[in-house]
Structure 1
Amino acid sequence: MDNRNVTIVVSGDICINSLQWITDPQNNKGLNWQTHLNMHNALKSGEALLLSKLVALSTGACILSPKIPDLESASSREFLRSTAELELFPISANEKNNDKVYRVGRFLGFTGPSSGLPKLLPIINDNDNADIVILDDENNSFNSNKEFWPLALKSSNKSPIILYKMNNPNGSSTLWKHLEKFHIEKTIVVINGDDLRSKGVNISKSLSWERTAQDFVWQINNNPNLSFLAKCSHLIVPFGLEGAIYYKNESSTESRLYFLPYEFEGGSFKETQGKMYGLTSCFVAGLARGIVSGNHNNDELSQSIDKGIRDGIVAAQKYFTEGFGKNIEEYQFPNPSIFLEGENDFIYKEHVQDVKIPNSFNTNCYSCWYILKDKSSTNLAEIAYDIVKNGVKNALKFIPIAQFGKLQTVDRTEIESYRSIKNLMCEYISSRNIERPLSIAVFGTPGSGKSFGVTEVAASIAPNLIKKLNFNLSQFQSLSDLISAFHKVRDLSLEGKVPLVFFDEFDSAFEGKLGWLKYLLAPMQDGVFREGDSIHPIGKAIFVFAGGTSSTFKEFCGEDINDENEQKQFLSEFKGAKGPDFVSRLRGYVNILGPNQTDKKWDQLFIIRRAMLLRSLLERKVPHLINDNGEVQIDNGVVRALLKVPRYKHESRSMEAILEMSMLTNAKKWEQSHLPSKEQLKLHVDEEQFLRHLMHDAFFSEKIEKLAIDIHEKYRILNENNKNIDLDFIKPWEELSEDLKNSSRNQAKHIPNALLRINYDVVSVKEKPTAIEFTEKELNILAVYEHTRWCLHRKETGWKYGDNKDNKKKTDPSLVPWDILADNKKNKVYQMVKIWPEILANSNFKIERLKFLCQCEATV
Structure 2
Amino acid sequence: MTSSGEHCIVISGDVVVGWALTSTAKEPSGDPVGKWYDQDKVKVRPLEGGAWLLSSIIQKLKPPGFCVASPDWGEPFDDQNFNKYNHYFATLKNFEPNKDKDPVWRQSLIQGYSRRPVPCGGINPSSPENQHLDYVIPNDPANPDIVVIEDAGVGYRDVHDAPCWPRSIEADTGQAPWCIIEAGYGAGSGGGIARGELWARLSSESRLDRLIVVTTAEDLRHDSKLEISKNLSWERTAEDCVHAILKQGRLSRCRYFVISFGPVGALLYDHDQDDFRLHFERRNMEDAETYKKGGMWGFTTTLTAAISMALMEHCKNPSSPPHIDTAIEAALEAVRAGYEEGYNINGKTKGGFPAIDFPIQTVTSEIKRVSKEMTKGGEGDTFGQVHIPKPTQRSDSARAPKWSMLGEWISQDTATAEKVVKYGIDFALPEVPIGRYAGLVTVDRKEIESYESIRNLVRAYWNRPVTRNPEPVSIAVFGAPGSGKSYAVKQVVESLQLPHKFLEFNLSQFESVTDLLSAFHVIRDIGLRGEFPVAFWDEFDAFHERDLGWVRHFLYPMQDGKFRQGEIEHPIGRALFVFAGGTSHSLDAFEGRHDFEAAKGPDFMSRIRGHVNLLGTNSGKGDRYHVIRRAILLRTWLEKFPKLMDEKGNADIDDGVLRAFLHVPRYKHGVRSMKAIVETSSLSRASQFGRSNLPAPGQLALHVNARDFMSLVRTGELNAQPAKQSGENRRQRTRSNRKRK
Q: State the match for 2:589 in structure 1.
A: 555
Q: State the match for 2:56 in structure 1.
A: 53
Please, which moves more after superposition, 532-541 or 72-81?
72-81
Partner Cα distance (1:367, 1:73) in 2: 61
Please, which moves more after superposition, 626-635 or 369-378?
369-378
Q: State the match for 1:393 in structure 2.
A: 426
> Residue 108 of structure 1 is aligned with which of 94, 105, 111?
111
Q: Report the Cα offset of residue 342 of structure 1.
A: 9.8
2:304 counterpart letter in structure 1: V
1:81 counterpart letter in structure 2: H
Change beyond 3 A, Cα 1:342–1:163: closer
> Residue 202 of structure 1 is aligned with which of 227, 231, 245?
227
2:419 counterpart letter in structure 1: D
Q: State the match for 1:676 in structure 2.
A: 695
Q: TM-score, normalised by structure 1?
A: 0.76
Contact 1:100 1:326 in 2 (8 A): no
Report the secondary structure of 1:700's partner residue.
coil
Partner Cα distance (1:59, 1:424) in 2: 46
Q: Please list, as runs of the form range in 1=range in 2, the aligned pairs for 1:75-474 lying within 5 A after superposition.
A: 75=80, 76-92=82-98, 94=99, 97=100, 99-117=102-120, 119=122, 120=132, 121-145=135-159, 146-156=162-172, 157-168=174-185, 169-181=192-204, 182-200=206-224, 201-221=226-246, 223=247, 226-250=248-272, 253-267=274-288, 269-271=290-292, 273-298=293-318, 301=321, 303-325=322-344, 327=346, 332-341=357-366, 349=380, 351-360=382-391, 361-364=394-397, 367-375=401-409, 378-380=412-414, 382-434=415-467, 435-463=470-498, 465-474=499-508
1:441 counterpart letter in structure 2: A
Change beyond 3 A, Cα 1:71–1:391: same
Contact 2:47 2:355 in 1 (8 A): no
Please, which moves more after superposition, 286-295 or 637-646?
286-295
Report the secondary structure of 1:576's partner residue.
coil
Q: State the match for 1:751 in structure 2.
A: 729
Contact 1:355 1:374 in 2 (8 A): no
1:656 aligns with 2:672: no
Q: Please list, as runs of the form range in 1=range in 2, the aligned pairs for 1:22-37 lying within 5 A after superposition.
A: 22-24=23-25, 37=40
Partner Cα distance (2:6, 2:666) in 1: 66
Q: Report the Cα offset of residue 116 of structure 1.
A: 4.2
Partner Cα distance (1:517, 1:378) in 2: 46
Partner Cα distance (1:210, 1:33) in 2: 53
Report the secondary structure of 1:398's partner residue.
coil
1:12 aligns with 2:13: yes
Q: Report the Cα offset of residue 99 of structure 1.
A: 2.5
Change beyond 3 A, Cα 1:537–1:128: same
Q: Report the Cα offset of residue 500 of structure 1.
A: 0.8
Contact 1:24 1:36 in 2 (8 A): no
Q: Please list, as runs of the form range in 1=range in 2, the aligned pairs for 1:719-738 lying within 5 A after superposition.
A: none
Partner Cα distance (1:219, 1:343) in 2: 32
Contact 2:146 2:177 in 1 (8 A): yes
Aligned residues: 686
Please, which moves more after superposition, 475-484 or 176-185?
176-185
Deviation string for 1:202-245 (max 9, x for gaps)? 11111111111112223334x4xx23323333211112321111
Change beyond 3 A, Cα 1:747–1:619: closer
Q: State the match for 1:595 in structure 2.
A: 617
Contact 1:7 1:63 in 2 (8 A): yes
> Residue 564 of structure 2 is aligned with which of 514, 517, 530?
530
Change beyond 3 A, Cα 1:652–1:253: same
Q: Report the Cα offset of residue 353 of structure 1.
A: 2.4
Change beyond 3 A, Cα 1:679–1:667: same
2:501 counterpart letter in structure 1: K
Report the secondary structure of 1:71's partner residue.
coil
Please, which moves more after superposition, 361-370 or 425-434?
361-370
Q: Report the Cα offset of residue 395 of structure 1.
A: 2.6
Partner Cα distance (2:346, 2:420) in 1: 44
Partner Cα distance (1:501, 1:336) in 2: 51
Contact 1:79 1:118 in 2 (8 A): no
Change beyond 3 A, Cα 1:618–1:691: same
Q: State the match for 1:732 in structure 2.
A: none
Deviation string for 1:418-460 (max 9, x for gaps)? 0111111111111112411110111111111111111111111
Q: Report the Cα offset of residue 78 of structure 1.
A: 4.9
Contact 1:77 1:113 in 2 (8 A): yes
Q: Please list, as runs of the form range in 1=range in 2, the aligned pairs for 1:782-797 lying within 5 A after superposition.
A: none
Q: Hey, which of these two has a bigger chunk of helix by percent?
A: 1
Partner Cα distance (1:5, 1:684) in 2: 75
Q: TM-score, normalised by structure 2?
A: 0.87
Q: Report the Cα offset of residue 325 of structure 1.
A: 3.2
Contact 2:91 2:110 in 1 (8 A): yes
Contact 1:279 1:316 in 2 (8 A): yes
Please, which moves more after superposition, 199-208 or 627-636?
627-636
2:612 counterpart letter in structure 1: V
Contact 1:64 1:126 in 2 (8 A): yes
Please, which moves more after superposition, 578-587 or 686-695?
686-695
Contact 1:286 1:313 in 2 (8 A): no
1:581 aligns with 2:559: no
Q: State the match for 2:188 in structure 1.
A: none
Deviation string for 1:70-102 (max 9, x for gaps)? 22114434532111111111332x4xx253111
Contact 2:216 2:259 in 1 (8 A): yes
Q: Report the Cα offset of residue 268 of structure 1.
A: 6.2
Report the secondary structure of 1:99's partner residue.
coil
Report the secondary structure of 1:575's partner residue.
coil
Q: Report the Cα offset of residue 286 of structure 1.
A: 1.5
Deviation string for 1:279-338 (max 9, x for gaps)? 11111112222222344443565x522222212222222232222137566975342121
Q: Report the Cα offset of residue 184 of structure 1.
A: 1.0
Partner Cα distance (1:147, 1:350) in 2: 46
Report the secondary structure of 1:23's partner residue.
coil
Report the secondary structure of 1:43's partner residue.
strand
Change beyond 3 A, Cα 1:74–1:321: farther
Please, which moves more after superposition, 468-477 or 635-644?
635-644
Report the secondary structure of 2:658's partner residue.
helix
Q: Percent identity of the aligned residues?
A: 35
Partner Cα distance (2:695, 2:617) in 1: 20
Deviation string for 1:245-277 (max 9, x for gaps)? 112323x63322111222222326342x11112
Contact 2:45 2:355 in 1 (8 A): no
Report the secondary structure of 1:667's partner residue.
coil
Report the secondary structure of 1:522's partner residue.
helix
- Unpaired segments ≥5 residues, structure 2: 27-34, 123-131, 186-191, 348-353, 374-378
Change beyond 3 A, Cα 1:113–1:163: closer
Q: State the match for 1:813 in structure 2.
A: none
Contact 1:291 1:307 in 2 (8 A): no
Contact 1:437 1:527 in 2 (8 A): yes
Report the secondary structure of 1:148's partner residue.
coil
Deviation string for 1:574-621 (max 9, x for gaps)? 11111111111111111111111112xx3211111001101111223x
1:496 counterpart letter in structure 2: G
Partner Cα distance (1:640, 1:699) in 2: 7
Partner Cα distance (1:495, 1:445) in 2: 35
1:608 aligns with 2:628: yes
Report the secondary structure of 1:639's partner residue.
helix
Report the secondary structure of 1:484's partner residue.
helix
Report the secondary structure of 1:673's partner residue.
helix
- Unpaired segments ≥5 residues, structure 1: 26-31, 559-569, 705-744, 758-780, 786-817, 820-860
Change beyond 3 A, Cα 1:746–1:291: farther
Contact 2:17 2:46 in 1 (8 A): yes
Report the secondary structure of 1:8's partner residue.
strand
1:640 aligns with 2:659: yes
Q: Report the Cα offset of residue 756 of structure 1.
A: 7.5
